[in-house]
């Protein structure tokens, strides 16, 4: 679907109010063209004999035409501009909903600030195209055509001479319109860069201050701001040239028509009233052509912004396109990974012509085979970059696994409804993200229907109770943006509680105890020993203490499973796991002595 066709789809949704608004535009244009005829008739009539009744009659006709024109103007603005706001509302909702459906790999190549710029600035420009540009285009077209017809009725030769202005205006619009389009898109693209820079600095303000980079970041922002101003100045210089050229051309046309009209009056071929009416009609025809320059500017800006929005809309929501069927009946939770080899896909940034991530071509996982029976707990350990988190991302379909490699209860997960699959899974990611809401709302994010008692119970299981007791408003304490008022351990425990409140069939913990101390870890693990009964549990950790009670433990090395077994059998094997356990045991003993 092209940007233009997508835009027309929104017009089609609101064709009735837009048609009503167009009828009001016709009414407004009609009464606008009636007024010069009234003035011309008044001049000729009153030039012959000035009397009170004719003056009142023409005055009343002129006032009446103006009032009706004003009423139609009000209605056309109220209907068309109002409809443009409703279309903007729909487009904003659709754009946001589309962003929610896009796969994670899309966001790994995009900048948040640029996406926000598209959702705000660009949508506003499209709304100006839908509302004022459409309304003034229709009005200008009707007035220009109507004025020319009336001018032809008064004096055919002068009317045809006045048409010289039309190709001149068309040439100027063609010449400047495309340049305005290109420069405005450049401005909008760079505004997205600035937005992304500001968003990253605000999100990473702690890092900026920790490394005393405030002055450097201010200077970088100043440089970007200067570039943004220069791009805007380039656009302004173009539009500043465009409009004076239009005015100059129109001024010359008025001089020519005034010269020809005065000669016709002296020759008796044209009355003063007809000449006055012709001048008014010439103004009615020419000034909309000047307004057309402004409209073309809006259209070019709006289409440039629509192109930027379309670039995001054209990205397919990958998971949705592979949506499977909803499974009915009981589900045990058996998990099987069979001959899994996975390489991260190469993704191009929105609007880019070539992929960005060309370097990510090595297989992250190779020949992975794993069986987890319902109710079993499996621990996964390995060095950083060994593929642990990638394996979990494939199980949850955060990334799409190769078909026929991952199964739940014997069913390939790509054939299972994505929504249902994620209902079964409680995921605690490695990177904790919390919302600027209360603790209770962050936990309830896991299941919106959770009661207060269920939220408190999940917090207890996650080891948050002692911390909650110190908060001024308990679980109702607002934790600030991204949980800025919480420690790293408190954030992780909140994320664990969010997952537990779902009462999931499959529980996945992705190194979710890395930021808690050993005593808190032991409390959480004790709670997990109780709640994991009857559930399939996957625990990824760099701590051997977090997985030692698992039914099975696998060790990943460079994307392959190099060790597997129980805690005792792996210790006896004297491999990576045994070395990891021994080192961490010694470290814990040293900490106790210290």
Q: Note the maximum CA span of the chain.
A: 122
d(CA 364, CA 487): 32
Which domain range does residue 291 map to?
Answer: 3-192+231-315
Question: Could you report the per-residue pLDDT of 242-256, keeping only the tens digit for each?
Answer: 778 777 777 777 788
Residues 363, 276: one domain? no
In a domain, 351, yes or no: no
Residues 179, 253: one domain? yes
**Which pLDDT score, from 0 to 100, does residue 185 have?**
76
Question: Could you report the per-residue pLDDT of 392-416, keeping only the tens digit for each?
Answer: 889 988 888 899 999 998 889 888 8
Residues 163, 61: one domain? yes
Residues 170, 306: one domain? yes
In a domain, 200, yes or no: no
The count of structural domains within the chain is 2
Q: How confident is the model at residue 328 (pLDDT cuts 50, 70, 90)?
A: low
Q: How confident is the model at residue 382 (pLDDT cuts 50, 70, 90)?
A: confident
In a domain, 222, yes or no: no
Burial of 143 from C-beta contacts in 10 A (0-12 / 13-18 / 19+): buried
Per-chain mean pLDDT for the chain: 82
Residues 310, 443: one domain? no
Q: Which residues contact 117 (CB under 8 A, 6 or more apart)?
A: 188, 191, 192, 195, 196
Residues 392, 300: one domain? no
In a domain, 575, yes or no: yes
In a domain, 383, yes or no: yes
Residues 103, 252: one domain? yes
Mark residue 433 as left, alpha or beta (left: phi above 0; alpha: psi -120 to 50; beta: remaining). beta
pTM value surpassing 0.75? no
Residues 523, 402: one domain? yes
Residues 365, 477: one domain? yes
**Token pair recorded at residue 98:** 């589309």
**Which pLDDT score, from 0 to 100, does residue 290 have?**
67
Residues 369, 271: one domain? no
Q: What's the CATH number where 485 sits? A: 3.40.50.300
Strands 406-408 and 411-412: antiparallel
Q: How confident is the model at residue 351 (pLDDT cuts 50, 70, 90)?
A: low
Residues 394, 430: one domain? yes
In a domain, 126, yes or no: yes
E strands, 513-551, are 536-540
Q: What's the CATH number where 30 sits? A: 1.20.1560.10
Q: How confident is the model at residue 3 (pLDDT cuts 50, 70, 90)?
A: confident
In a domain, 557, yes or no: yes
DSSP 56-88: HHHHHHHHHHHHHHHHHHHHHHHHHHHHHHHHH
Residues 295, 370: one domain? no
**Which pLDDT score, from 0 to 100, does residue 74 have?**
93
In a domain, 212, yes or no: no
Q: How many helices (H) and strands (E) does the chain have?
A: 23, 10
């Amino acid at each position: 679907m092209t940007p233009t066709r997508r835009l027309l789809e929104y017009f089609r949704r609101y064709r009735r109010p837009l048609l009503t608004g167009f009828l009001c535009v016709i009414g407004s244009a009609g009464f606008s063209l009636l007024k010069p005829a009234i003035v011309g008739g008044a001049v000729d009539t009153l030039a012959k004999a000035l009397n009170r009744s004719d003056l009142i009659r023409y005055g009343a006709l002129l006032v009446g035409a103006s009032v009706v024109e004003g009423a139609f103007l009000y209605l056309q603005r109220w209907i068309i501009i109002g409809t443009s706001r409703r279309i903007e509302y729909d487009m904003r909702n659709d754009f946001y909903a589309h962003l929610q459906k896009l796969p994670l790999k899309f966001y790994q190549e995009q900048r948040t600030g640029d996406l926000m710029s598209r959702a705000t600035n660009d949508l506003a420009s499209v709304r100006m195209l839908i509302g004022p540009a459409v309304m003034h285009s229709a009005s200008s077209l009707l007035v220009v055509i109507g004025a020319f017809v009336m001018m032809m009725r008064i004096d055919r030769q002068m009317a045809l001479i006045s048409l010289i202005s039309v190709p001149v205006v068309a040439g100027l619009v063609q010449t400047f319109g495309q340049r305005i389009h290109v420069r405005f898109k450049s401005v909008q693209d760079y505004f997205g860069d600035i937005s992304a820079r500001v968003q990253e600095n605000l999100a990473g303000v702690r890092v900026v201050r920790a490394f005393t980079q405030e002055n450097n970041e201010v200077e970088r922002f100043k440089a970007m701001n200067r570039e943004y101003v220069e791009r805007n100045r380039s656009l302004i210089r173009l539009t500043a040239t465009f409009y004076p050229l239009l005015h100059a051309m129109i001024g010359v046309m008025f001089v020519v028509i005034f010269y020809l009209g005065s000669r016709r009056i002296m020759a008796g071929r044209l009355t003063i009233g007809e000449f006055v009416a012709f001048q008014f009609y010439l103004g009615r025809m020419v000034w909309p052509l000047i307004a057309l320059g402004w409209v073309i500017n809006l259209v070019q800006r709006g289409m440039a912004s629509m192109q930027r929005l379309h670039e995001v809309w054209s990205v397919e929501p990958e998971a949705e396109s592979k949506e499977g069927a909803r499974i009915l009946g009981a589900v045990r939770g058996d998990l099987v990974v069979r001959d899994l080899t996975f390489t991260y896909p190469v993704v191009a940034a929105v609007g880019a012509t070539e992929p960005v991530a060309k370097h990510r071509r090595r297989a992250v996982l190779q020949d992975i085979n794993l069986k987890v029976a319902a109710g079993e707990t499996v621990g996964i350990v390995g060095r950083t970059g060994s593929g642990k988190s990638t394996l979990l991302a494939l199980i949850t379909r955060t990334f799409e696994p190769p078909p026929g490699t991952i199964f739940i209860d014997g069913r390939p997960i790509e054939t299972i409804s994505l929504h249902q699959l994620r209902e079964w899974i409680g995921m605690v990611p490695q990177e904790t993200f919390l919302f600027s809401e209360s603790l209770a709302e962050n936990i309830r994010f896991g299941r919106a229907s959770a009661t207060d008692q269920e939220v408190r119970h999940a917090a207890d299981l996650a080891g948050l109770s002692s911390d909650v007791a110190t908060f001024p408003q308990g679980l109702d304490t607002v934790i600030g943006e991204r949980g800025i008022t919480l420690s790293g351990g408190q954030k992780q425990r909140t994320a664990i509680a969010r997952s537990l409140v779902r009462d999931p069939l499959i529980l996945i913990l992705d190194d979710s105890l890395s930021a808690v101390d050993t005593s808190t870890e032991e409390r959480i693990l004790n709670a997990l020993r109780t709640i994991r009964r009857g559930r399939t549990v996957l625990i990824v950790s760099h701590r051997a203490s977090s997985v030692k009670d698992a039914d099975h433990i696998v060790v990943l090395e460079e994307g392959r499973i190099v060790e597997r077994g129980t805690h005792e059998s792996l210790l006896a094997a004297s491999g990576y796991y045994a070395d990891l356990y021994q080192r961490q045991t010694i470290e814990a003993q040293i900490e106790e002595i210290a």
